[in-house]
Amino acid sequence: EAEVAQSPRYKITEKSQAVAFWCDPISGHATLYWYRQILGQGPELLVQFQDESVVDDSQLPKDRFSAERLKGVDSTLKIQPAELGDSAMYLCASSPSDYSGNTIYFGEGSWLTVV
Amino acid sequence: AQSVAQPEDQVNVAEGNPLTVKCTYSVSGNPYLFWYVQYPNRGLQFLLKYITGDNLVKGSYGFEAEFNKSQTSFHLKKPSALVSDSALYFCAVRDRGSTLGRLYFGRGTQLTVWP
């Protein structure tokens, strides 16, 4: 069964350092999402791509977060500089298209701890 | 604005007994509704969704959910709980009229099934 691949699974970084997460969606999925899940809360959308274009980044803290999906396949989420409050799980997800009834499939997540 | 409420942080049930995890939602239009399950340190796994048609939706691992439009609810149910069902459960909603397709999640309900 196809899966959304994410790396690294765990990352510990010092405050003010840069950190990056990588995601490879399910093959053929045009829509890619990055969600952030803080412990004890539900996931919240950071950014949504349709192919290589950003369609929703309204909740992305653009002063320190950036995301790209250059060829419309895999994607990278970067944080620079990291802050203590960025400690969370970063979840990548994908779906076949932007049709709202499609199921969104999630990866295993990347745990970030900022110290 | 879209939102999801899961009124119970924790649900405890004995193995073999029926279980219910509650979810209510608020959307500006008509909803697509989803349930996901999360095991410790893992990503979200899709359980089931309501798109249209029969209000009773059947999903993975024997779970089902009933869409109630008048009560704006989408409660998750299972006739006979297993210890292995113990996990964190998330309800999510999408406005089918939205062009962006963002999923809004509840805070999650921790289900514990004791032997």
Predicted pLDDT at A98? 64
pLDDT-based confidence at residue B110 (cuts at 50, 70, 90): very high
The closest of A5, A46, A19 to A112, measured between CA atoms, is A19
Predicted pLDDT at B97? 73
Note whether B50 and B96 are within 8 A (CB). no
Which of A43, A98, A107 lies nearest to residue B101, judging by beta carbons? A98
CA distance B31 to chain A (A): 9
Is B49–A55 a contact, with Cβ atoms under 8 angstroms apart?
no
Q: Is B69 on the interface with A (CB under 8 A)?
A: no
Looking at residues A22-42, what average pLDDT do you find? Answer: 94
Q: Which residues does chain A have within 8 Å of residue B36's beta carbon, measured at their own beta carbons?
A: 106
Res B28 pLDDT > 90: no
CA distance A16 to chain B (A): 25
The closest of B44, B70, B68 to B54, measured between CA atoms, is B68
Q: What is the mean pLDDT of chain B?
A: 93
Q: Is B3 on the interface with A (CB under 8 A)?
A: no
